[in-house]
A and B are shown apart, each in its own frame.
Chain A
Amino acid sequence: MAILSKKDSKLILDPLADNNPITIQVLGICSALAITAELKASIVMALSVLFVLGLGNVVISLMRNIIPSKIRIIVQLVVVATLVIIVDQVLKAFAYELSKTLAVFVGLIITNCIIMGRFEAFALGNGVWRSFLDGIGNAAGYGVILIIVGFFRELLGSGTLLGFPVLGNPIEKTGLYAIGYENNGFMLLSPMALIVVGILIWVQRSRNPALIEEN
């Protein structure tokens, strides 16, 4: 990447792999369980978090020198909540359909620990541009995991991707179903999201043994 210095591009690339917020830091698990039963919801959530975390990090970084440290957590909460409500209201007025799809995510975004975590750990101590990159990088790392989990849960649980039947029709027994394949309804339940995330962590750690902690 020529546009970004080596240090800056690390901010974006690290959270995608070796410092992933979900698989390494184990943050944001709650929303990863709640909305990954289908791919579309995962993508929408990933984009929403990308927007809020990118912008939120910038706002917090701009204010970093005037925020009193005693109430910094409250200030951070107010910033996320305000951003999310502004987006929600504007969408309700100008893109009503989209706002209805997003309504369920509003609460999940405000309480997402990745967002508070990045404000606290990064934006409070770094400049605007670097905070923005950090926000985008972490949101992307979070989004990638969400999309992978959503992909497997929807494919194996419902036999569809983004709502399109890709494995044939389970009722008329076409495609894969003709040879006796069945959808695994268990994939639709939240515990399977944890198990899929667990498998991802396993794969990632066995590919990169440096990530395994010494006991």
Chain B
Amino acid sequence: MNKENNIYTVLFACLMVVVVGSILAYLASALSGKIKENERFEKQQNILYAMGVNENEGEGSVNFVPTDVVEEEFSTYITEQLIIEGDQITKDDQAYMIDLKKELDKLKDGATPKLPVFIGNKDGQTYYIVPMYGKGLWDAIWGFMALDKNMVVQGVYFDHKAETPGLGANIKQRYFMDDFTGESILNGSNYTGIKVVKGNNDPVNEIKDDNEVDALAGATITGNGVSAMIAKTVNLYKDYFETLRNQG
């Protein structure tokens, strides 16, 4: 058969699309259950990580609770899951499965987003954990921030889809995330969030009352993205935080 003939070319293209399409479709449906479960475990791991339930050893490691026990640990440490929708606060133990990106998109249409809050309890201390979602240099960045009642950060977890390895991708390194612990999202009584700044003369982050942490070299835009993400989150949850503080 003549390979250069148009009919052959079109037939070849059609056949190729059908074959490749079916392979990928089969694979996606066969694996989707397993992939969804992995994603669910990951969310639970991340939330627990932010409140300090993790298996970190030594200085540099970021180790989550292993997947085979994460479900159990999650129900032990997370005592309550709330959804804030406008003025209404409801309990929902599936709140962690909310897709924050979709909820934030609702804001653009003027609708009220559903904002989850996770209340954790470890060694008698209560943690209020909020999810975050924002933009880095290349793609999405997200994370979780655990606060105490006085709006002091007790731990954060950041992650990213496609930041530059070695530069922006380092937002998920211990030395960056640990800097946030102890910083307050309050400046006086204003909800200012925490800024990632270059050259704040505080590379080891000893000053905890300046609402600033030291930036990563070579990752200015990712750092700005983190600042913006925290500011946006703090602004969204402001009313809820305010009621927490007034409870005394």
* Chain A positions near chain B (C-beta within 8 angstroms): 34-38, 40-41, 66-71, 74-75, 78, 82, 85-86, 89-90, 92-94, 96, 103-104, 107, 153-154, 158, 163, 171, 185, 188-189
- Nearest A residue to B67 via CB reads A96
Query: CB distance A70 to B166 under 8 Å?
Result: no
Rank and list the top 8 A-B pairs by shortest CB-CB distance, nearest first: A37-B166, A41-B165, A38-B166, A188-B218, A93-B34, A93-B31, A68-B9, A96-B38
Residues of A within 8 A of B42 (CB): 96
Q: Is the interface of A mostly helix, strand, loop or mixed?
A: helix
Query: CB distance A37 to B164 under 8 Å?
Result: yes
**Taking each of B9, B38, B161, which has the highest tally of chain A beta carbons within 10 Å of its own beta carbon?**
B38
Interface size on B, residues (CB 8 A): 30
Total residue contacts A-B, CB cutoff 8 A: 82
- Nearest B residue to A74 via CB reads B13
* Chain B positions near chain A (C-beta within 8 angstroms): 3-4, 8-9, 12-13, 16, 20, 23-24, 27-28, 31, 34-35, 38, 42, 60, 161-167, 169, 203-204, 217-218
- Nearest B residue to A153 via CB reads B166
Query: CB distance A78 to B9 under 8 Å?
Result: no
Docked complex Cα distance between A69 and B8 (Å): 11
Query: CB distance B4 to A185 under 8 Å?
Result: no
Docked complex Cα distance between A185 and B215 (Å): 13
Residues of A within 8 A of B166 (CB): 35-38, 41, 153-154, 158, 188
Contact for A163 among B16, B27, B60, B163, CB less than 8 A? B60
Query: CB distance B24 to A66 under 8 Å?
Result: no
Chosen A-B contacts, 5 in total, with CB atoms closer than 8 Å, are A35-B165, A40-B165, A78-B20, A92-B31, A185-B217
Query: CB distance A82 to B38 under 8 Å?
Result: no
Known contacts A92-B35, A103-B161, A107-B162: A66-B3 contact under CB 8 Å: yes
Known contacts A93-B34, A188-B218, A189-B218: A71-B13 contact under CB 8 Å: yes
Known contacts A35-B166, A93-B31: A85-B24 contact under CB 8 Å: yes
Query: CB distance A92 to B165 under 8 Å?
Result: no
Q: How far is the CB of B9 from chain A (nearest CB, A)?
A: 4
Docked complex Cα distance between A135 and B161 (Å): 29
Query: CB distance A104 to B165 under 8 Å?
Result: yes
Known contacts A34-B164, A96-B38: A67-B31 contact under CB 8 Å: no
Docked complex Cα distance between A188 and B60 (Å): 20
Known contacts A70-B4, A71-B13: A89-B38 contact under CB 8 Å: no
Docked complex Cα distance between A66 and B27 (Å): 26
Query: CB distance A86 to B27 under 8 Å?
Result: yes
Residues of B within 8 A of A70 (CB): 4, 9
Query: CB distance A68 to B162 under 8 Å?
Result: no
Docked complex Cα distance between A189 and B218 (Å): 6
Docked complex Cα distance between A78 and B18 (Å): 12
Docked complex Cα distance between A34 and B218 (Å): 12
Docked complex Cα distance between A103 and B60 (Å): 22
